Amino acid sequence: MGAFSIRGQHGRFYITRDGDDVAGPYWSKDSADVAQDRLERKAKERERKCITCTEAFLSEGPHNRMCNGCRSRISDDGVAV
């Protein structure tokens, strides 16, 4: 899967990925830019297994390896398991 890009056609803007339109039309380049940003951020999120409880959760990226439950438990005790 490649990166998202924006193509303009007849004064409208579409977001494409691997040659397919994935969103649009947008009426301005600015709105298309904002939507592209959101899509890129969402594409980086993926399901990972929590390193602590091994439950699947939606990770924001490689730095994010612990589910919300474990993260809040750890900040409560102040001890990393």
Compute how many residues bind Zn ion; rule: CB under 5 A: 5
Separation CA 18–CA 14 (nearest Å): 13
Taking the complex as a whole, how short is the minimal distance between the CB of residue 62 and Zn ion, in angstroms?
A: 17
Which CB atom, from 16 or from 52, has the smaller least distance to Zn ion?
A: 52
Residue 2 in tokens: 């490649």
Separation CA 17–CA 57 (nearest Å): 26
Binding mask 39-78 for Zn ion (x = CB under 5 A): -----------x-xx-------------x--x--------
Separation CA 48–CA 58 (nearest Å): 6
Strands across the sheet containing 12-17: 4-9, 12-17, 20-26
Which CB atom, from 35 or from 70, has the smaller least distance to Zn ion?
A: 70
Taking the complex as a whole, how short is the minimal distance between the CB of residue 49 and Zn ion, in angstroms?
A: 9
Binding interface with Zn ion (CB under 5 A): 50, 52-53, 67, 70
